[in-house]
Amino acid sequence: MIYRLGELFCGPGGLAWGAVHADIGNPDFRIVHEWANDYDENTCKTYRKNICKDRPDTVYHADIRKFDLTKLSPIDAFAFGFPCNDFSVVGEQKGIDGVYGPLYSYGVKVLKMLKPQWFLAENVGGLKNANDGKAFSMILGAMKEAGYKLYPNLYKFETYGIPQARHRIIIVGIRDDLDYEFKIPSNADYVQKTCRQAIEEPPIAPDAPNNERTIQSATVVERLKYIKPGQNAFTADLPEHLQLNVKGAKISQIYKRLDPDKPAYTVTGSGGGGTHIYHWSEPRALTNRERARLQTFPDNYIFEGPKESVRKQIGMAVPPEGAKIIFEAILKTFAGIPYEYMEANIEE
């Protein structure tokens, strides 16, 4: 079975790369791109360039709230990383009451309209507790009502060999009339990968795309010299003139240097000074290509748009290699191939 995949909120293609590269050793079971949508123009350009170069017209650049869903072609599989801004632990946490919170409903509309055999939905770990847990229950309820058995789990990607501590809720759904049960793929056989391994093995070519360096101010360079690997601007012993005048919450990732012997902390898509992820030994922020390595994008994956747009795209993406693991488990489920699995850590 070749599964035609549709995507809403597709981002730069992290989920899509994992899907089209999923390989279970049986060419009869694979996933191919059918169509995708995102509201950001540069993101759509990146997706077209890397996922469907020969079919650029299948990527729709549009605000989902104004998009005509009836123009979408039939699909067998569906993925949507619905916007997480209102569910993230960083920010105002408006949950279902925010601007972005209700956008999951467009994914549910696609489920009802096109009835794919299975779907994968992704969001931040904070989704489970948004609106005192009511948002998560409401979203699961809508997906069930659309006709799907659900298999939610909080995936800690660093336990699957991804060189980054990234925790995401992923809900796999299988249509009610299909006699398949999805199991959470086991992380038992994966070896932890450090950020140093990700960035240095192999070295990044000098002419690699999206590898331009950020120009650091003299103050930032001086501040970073006092910050040891794993420390941030608030835990390091900084001279008074280099300390940050911050009242209230002190976010731990501000001017935080990577610990080269551990996976990176979470790569984010936005934020002001001090949030760009900092090298463990050099007094500088990481380049976008280094950040892409932490997200497991291959070096030939070219991001379109200016530097800050690329930073946002990389930070918002699902790690492609992590997505691939989950898509392969879905394909094995439908192909009847046993695989190592573990208990879900989220109850419906």
Instruction: Note down pLDDT in tens along the chain; length 348 residues.
Output: 999 999 999 999 999 999 999 999 999 999 999 999 999 999 999 999 999 999 999 999 999 989 999 999 999 999 998 765 444 444 444 444 444 457 888 999 999 999 999 999 998 777 777 667 777 888 899 999 999 999 999 999 999 999 999 999 999 999 999 999 999 999 999 999 999 999 999 999 989 999 999 899 999 999 999 999 999 999 999 999 999 887 665 667 899 999 999 999 999 988 777 889 999 999 999 999 999 999 999 999 999 999 999 999 999 999 999 999 999 999 999 999 999 999 999 876
157-167 core/surface letters (b: 16 or more CB in 10 A; e: else): bbebbbbbbbe
Burial class of residue 256 (count of CB atoms within 10 Å of its CB; 0-12, 13-18, 19+): buried
Residue 61's nearest CA partner among 22, 21, 10, 15 is 10
Question: Two tokens at 25?
Answer: 């050793």
3-class SS of residue 55: coil
Catalytic residue numbers read: 84
Residue 81's nearest CA partner among 45, 36, 116 is 36
83-111 core/surface letters (b: 16 or more CB in 10 A; e: else): bbbbbbebeebbbbebebbbbbebbbebb
- Please name the residues in contact with 14: beta carbons below 8 A apart, sequence gap of 6 or more: 295, 297, 317, 318, 319, 320, 323
How far CA 144 is from CA of 43, 130, 149, 173, 222, in Å, comes to 30, 19, 6, 9, 54
pLDDT for the residue 8: 96
The residues spanned by each domain of the chain are 2-192+316-342
**Distance, CA of 61 to CA of 39 (rounded, Å):** 5
What's the N-to-C CA distance of the chain in angstroms?
A: 29
Residue with tokens 């997505």: 323
Amino acid identity at 287: T
One of 3.10.20.30, 3.30.1490.20, 3.40.50.150, 1.10.1740.10 is the CATH number of 2-192+316-342, namely: 3.40.50.150
**Distance, CA of 295 to CA of 273 (rounded, Å):** 21
Question: Two tokens at 113?
Answer: 């309209």
Sheet containing 2-8, strands listed edge to edge, beginning at the edge strand earlier in sequence:
59-61, 30-38, 2-8, 77-80, 118-124, 167-175, 148-156
**Distance, CA of 86 to CA of 84 (rounded, Å):** 6
Tell me the pTM.
0.93
56-75 core/surface letters (b: 16 or more CB in 10 A; e: else): eebbbbeebeebeeeebeeb
Phi first, then psi, for residue 97 (nearest 5°) are: -90, -5
How far CA 118 is from CA of 18, 92, 292, in Å, comes to 16, 32, 28
**Distance, CA of 222 to CA of 216 (rounded, Å):** 10
How far CA 337 is from CA of 5, 78, 201, 211, 262, in Å, comes to 21, 21, 33, 40, 33
